[in-house]
Every structure is written in structure tokens, then in C-alpha cells.
Amino acid sequence: MSRYSPENRFSIYEKREELRRVVQSRHFAGSPKKIRFLEFVAEQSFQGNSDKLNEYLIGAEVYDRGPDFDQQKDPIVRVQAHEIRRLLKKYYEDEGKNSLIRLELPSGHYVPVFDKGAAEQAVEIAPAPDQVEPASRGASRLHMAVTVTLAVVCLALGILLVTRSGPGVTAAPSRPVAAALPTNLDWFWHPFLPPAVAPIIVIPNHPLLRAAHNGDSAQTVASGHEIPKASLPEFRDTIHFRELKKFVFVPSLTDFTAVGETIGLVNLCEMFFRVGDTCQVQQSRLLNFDEINGHNVILLGGSQSWSGRVFLNVEGFHFQSGVIINRKPQPGEKPLYKPEFDPVTNQLTRDYALVLMLPNERKENRVLLIYGIYTQGSQAAIEFLTNPERMAQLRIALAGLSADKKTIPPYFQVLLTTTVENAVPGNTSIVAVRSVAN
């Protein structure tokens, strides 16, 4: 197998974690385009689009080169790729020297490779077969015998468990404990992990106007609102502009889920799958407040018709009318947090997100809300909450609220902020934390 052939031994969750560690390191600090380069090629690889990655695509998507981009005259992609390889080398000589996974961008290629890091390679180093001492061979045979014996015992126990469940009764599936998660994630996610009942993850159904098309019924089109094409130059380069004779926008409650929440949902499900848990996803419009009272629930996005009820009697931060209100500002805090935009392009440059960990009607269950003002804020918050290094920071911040500076409150609020570039969240940090009374 070639050094740069695809590695399937690592999950996408593990690869994304390594990618985050790299781009959040000091070696990539202040280099948003290089970060965007790495994130773009990695995400394309995760989605199975590695064969489509080329210099032209990267130039167009990452460096905003237009349709006339000539790779021969403009070496921006090659130059940046060379710089990224240099920074990756420095990162793994410094901060990442103990990484179990190593992210590489092979010379002459743009498809990232996730290989074994130096730490894991050191663990796997073993003497060649002709150098193995007899005692080592004996130990190897003993290890194999023990492994086979344990496998047989486990199989027997499994059969016994099914047999004892009795006819007509289905034995509950075996679910591993949450120890598979890193400690810096387990402290936060433990209430949602086995042996607890898997949480219901609720995605928002945002109301919107979408473009009508020939597949719509006559009634749908009749309920729409026509906007002249000339007044929407932003759509000029889209397939809709070329295919649709006119722009008629129709209301919808079912056709769209926010992009950031969707990407975040993938992160959450990968994490739950890692510990042997299921991923129960439901649309907000198909649930009501009473139906979720008896479960662990994770609510993604704030635009859910009933979700505002969870803010009742909660002190601290409130998500309201597209801003986050801070009712009792502490030193260094603002009374109001609003998104920020580039004054020239009007592109979103900073977003905020609110994370609430609250008790459900049954105290052993939790309601976790992850609300970005915009979808980028939601995505950034979920990525933050599934990143062990960032969650170590949050753990310290929450422990600082207690008298002993060690105890983490069971219920709390977290206000996060993220930079945004080209509609993609960047660096995320903690703004403030609050303890919530039982």
C-alpha cells in the first residue's frame, strides 16, 4: 500500500478532531486562507469528493478566483499548498509531536491524508520476526490464547443473555459505557451517553421562501411571490438563474434545514456512534413540548415554534429577536450581543451562540439547547462542544463559578462567539458562563 493511499482506520470524527487541532494551533493563527484551504480539501475528502479536488477548484472556492482563473499564470494554489506543508511539518515537530493522527498534504496532491502519528507509530514498533526471542514468541502465543478464550467466553455470555430473556422478550442491545469519549468531552456529554437513554436531537424547520420549479403544483406556484430576475444579481451564477424562466418564491416549512445545524448534526451523530449510541433525529414541527418532557433532548437552532418556553425562569442570557440579551452584565461584559458584518460586502464576520444545559421535567434527564444567532453560530457551537481541547477550557471556566473552583454546576449557560469568513465559522471562543439554579 502506498504511503499516500486512503487510510480507513480512522473515523471521520477522529479526522475532524485532528483537523481542528491543526487549524487552531499557533502555526495557523492569523492565516484564515490557509485554514480555509485545509478545511475545504478535508471536507471534500470526507464527503467522497476527493477525485474532484484540483488546483482550479481550490482557486475558485478558497481564493475567489473567477472563471478566467489560469493556474499556469497564477500559482496561488501551489504556493499556498507549499506553505501549508511547511506549517504542518512545523506543527508536528512542535505542538503535534504527540498526536496519534498526522494530517498530511502530499507533495503534488491536494487530497489530505490522515496517517498514524509519531506517538502511535512508536507504540506499534516491534522487532522483525527473525529477531523475536523465544520468550517473546511464547508471550505472543499466550496473548493469542487469552484473546481467543475471552472471545469464546463473551460469545457464551451473549448466548446465555439471549436465552434467559425468554420467548417473546427481546433482550436490550448491549451498549458500551461512555468511557470511549475523551475525559474532556465525557464530563459534558455524560448525561446523554449510555447507559442513559439516547437523546432526541431536534432540528429546526425554518420558515422560508424558496424558488418555485416545474415540479411544484399549480396551487403552490399560485401562492408564491414573483421577484424580477434583474433585481437579484446574486443569483446570476446559479443554475436557477439559467433554468427558471422567472423567479417565483413560495413559502415553505418543510424543505429546508439550516446548513450549520446540519453539519453540526453530523458531528454529534459521529460522536454518539463512537460510544455505541444511536442518533435519534426529529423535525421540530413534528414534536411538541409535552412530548419531549420525559426524554434527554438536544435542540439545535433557535427558530423552533415552542423552544422559547425553555427560557422561562432562566436567569442570565436570553436569545430574543436575533440578538442575545445579557440582563445582568458582569465586569467586562456587554448588555447586548449582536452579529457583526463587513461594512463593504455586508458579509457576516462575527456570530454568537448560546448553549444551555438545563434539567428536564424528570431531573435525571437534560435539555441541551445550542442556539446560534445565524446558522454559522450554531455550527461553531456544536464543533466547540465536540472538541476535547476546547471543552477543557469550558470545564475550567465553569469550575471557576463554584466556591471551591473545582465543582462544575450541573446546569449552566455558555455564551460563545465565532469569527466568520466566506460564510464559514472560524475561531470560536468563550465570552461568558453562568450557573443555572436547580
Which pLDDT tens digit goes with each residue over 347-392?
899 999 999 998 887 777 898 999 898 889 999 999 999 999 999 9
259: closest CA among 372, 348, 379, 370? 379
What does DSSP assign to residue 23? H
106 versus 134: the higher-pLDDT residue is 106
The reply to whether 286 and 431 lie within a common domain is yes
What pLDDT sits at residue 4? Answer: 39
**In this predicted structure, which of 99-103, 238-242, 402-406 has the lowest mean pLDDT?**
238-242
| Within a domain: 247 | yes
Q: Which residue bears the cell 446523554?
A: 192
| Within a domain: 1 | no
The reply to whether 61 and 39 lie within a common domain is yes
Rounded CA gap, 291 and 308, in Å?
Answer: 15
% of the chain with per-residue pLDDT over 70:
79
What pLDDT sits at residue 96? Answer: 87
- Pairing type for strands 208-211 and 113-116 reads unpaired
* Bridge partners for 280 per DSSP: 200
Rounded CA gap, 218 and 220, in Å?
Answer: 5
The reply to whether 194 and 245 lie within a common domain is no
Sign of CA dihedral 160, 161, 163, 164: positive
What pLDDT sits at residue 145? Answer: 39
The reply to whether 401 and 306 lie within a common domain is yes
What is the total count of domains within the chain? 3
119 versus 276: the higher-pLDDT residue is 276
What pLDDT sits at residue 120? Answer: 52
Amino acid making up residue 227? I
> Taking residues 297-312, what's their average pLDDT?
64
What pLDDT sits at residue 167? Answer: 37
This prediction has a pTM of 0.58
| Within a domain: 416 | yes
* Full DSSP string of 259-281: HHHHHHHHHHHHHHHHTT---EE
| Within a domain: 362 | yes
The reply to whether 243 and 294 lie within a common domain is no
The reply to whether 330 and 233 lie within a common domain is no
The reply to whether 194 and 229 lie within a common domain is no
> Taking residues 264-286, what's their average pLDDT?
86
**In this predicted structure, which of 178-182, 236-240, 373-377, 414-418 has the lowest mean pLDDT?**
178-182
The answer, yes or no, to whether residue 158 has pLDDT greater than 50, is no
The reply to whether 102 and 195 lie within a common domain is no
**In this predicted structure, which of 86-100, 236-250, 278-292, 315-329 has the lowest mean pLDDT?**
278-292
186 versus 243: the higher-pLDDT residue is 186
Q: Tell me the residue range of the domain where 87 lies.
A: 12-123
> Taking residues 256-278, what's their average pLDDT?
85
The reply to whether 220 and 308 lie within a common domain is no
| Within a domain: 172 | no
Provide φ and ψ at 429, rounded to 5°.
-145, 165
| Within a domain: 157 | no
The reply to whether 222 and 286 lie within a common domain is no
The reply to whether 280 and 377 lie within a common domain is yes
pLDDT digits (tens, 9 = 90+) for 215-263: 888 888 888 999 998 888 877 777 777 778 889 988 876 666 678 888 8
